[in-house]
Amino acid sequence: MAQVYERVALIGLGLIASSMFWAMKRSGLAGEITGYARSAETRDTAREIGLCDRVCDTMAEAVEGADLVVLCVPVGVMGAVAAELAPALKTGCTLTDVGSVKADVIAQVSPHLPEGVHFIPGHPLAGTEHSGPRSGFAELFDNRWCLLVPVEGTAPEAVAQLRSLWEGMGANVEEMDAEHHDLVLAVTSHTPHLIAYTMVGVADDLRRVTDSEVVKYSAAGFRDFTRIAASDPTMWRDVFLSNKDATLEILGRFTEELFALQRAIRRGDGDHLHAYFTRTRAIRRGIIEAGQDTAAPDFGRSAKK
């Protein structure tokens, strides 16, 4: 594929940034890719594994002359990071991010940006429960969705260029407004994560079930909660605080549904339960048909190394 940006700067070198680097390298999408992480240990690891063409010791050095700057930091610090790097941004460059909340990130970052910088918030809907610079891989975004949320007045050509980059990294791209994005993600990601954290916490509290039993019999369903609940705690703390309204709205709906199911179980209402589970099963089929998961036995885990 053709080069999309001459110089790209990755700020924060965790799972998403490292996967972006390997995906850009795989397809020759960027001339030079610089990187910066706040932790010296992370920078040393990045240098050791060849992550980024040049790992910089300051944010200003990393973004100097960059055509695209990607904020790959927890959503709670986006504003502070933007304030620090804004003076070093080249006129005409594009600033984007990979945070899973958009309205709050726009509110945090926008006030710090100089004239002539294109701000196009983004969110790749891809990830694993692993974090850190060693966790990335080039295929992470293949056939996954990346949502772009351009702020008002953004130049269409800047959006088209960023879209080309994500498509070159294997992603499907759609545009969406910030408020709708945050509601969609509260349904598809944020609330399920909160429920997973809660369920794992409940198992921890149930002393009548021993720790060894929880581990030994987890394939019955608990295991899949633990994968989600193993995700980065700093990131998820910030997500819930930043997307408070939408998450609370969906949690309210979840609580209502849960009470209805409790009532059906208490009353022995098998028809209600069967109808409910039939409807939810159809959603699972839709996800498989859309290519967003595999129907392989054991979720295809046994085939993975």
Same domain, 228 and 249: yes
Single-letter amino acid code for the residue at 165: L
pLDDT for res 304: 46
Is the domain of 172 the same as that of 184? no
Residues 209 and 141 in one domain: no
**Whether residue 184 sits in one domain with residue 159:** no
pLDDT category of residue 232 using cuts at 50, 70 and 90: confident
78 found inside a domain: yes
In a domain, 137, yes or no: yes
Report the percent of the chain where pLDDT is more than 70.
96
Residue 79 sits in the same domain as residue 147: yes
**Could you tell me which residue, 129 or 138, shows the higher pLDDT?**
138
Note whether residue 231 is domain-resident: yes
Confidence of residue 287 (pLDDT cuts 50, 70, 90): confident
Pair 109, 169 in one domain: yes
pTM assigned to the model = 0.86
Q: Examine the domain organization and report whether 144 and 225 are in the same domain.
A: no
pLDDT at 305 over 50: no
- Among 127, 112, 89, smallest CA distance to 239 is for 127
Distance separating alpha carbons of residues 77 and 223, to the nearest angstrom? 31
Tell me: do 29 and 146 sit in the same domain: yes
Residue 84 lies in a domain: yes
12 and 87 fall within a common domain: yes
Mean pLDDT (the chain) is 92
Predicted confidence (pLDDT) per residue in 45-92, tens digit? 999 999 999 999 999 999 999 999 999 999 999 999 999 999 999 999
Q: How confident is the model at residue 299 (pLDDT cuts 50, 70, 90)?
A: low
Phi, psi (deg, nearest 5) at residue 11: -105, 110
Residue 205 is assigned to a structural domain of this protein: yes
State the total domains in the chain.
2
Domain that holds residue 73: 5-176
Same domain, yes or no: 167 and 189: no
Domain for residue 54, yes or no?
yes
Question: Span 254-272, mean pLDDT?
Answer: 95
Residues 22 and 133 in one domain: yes
Mean pLDDT of 118-143: 93
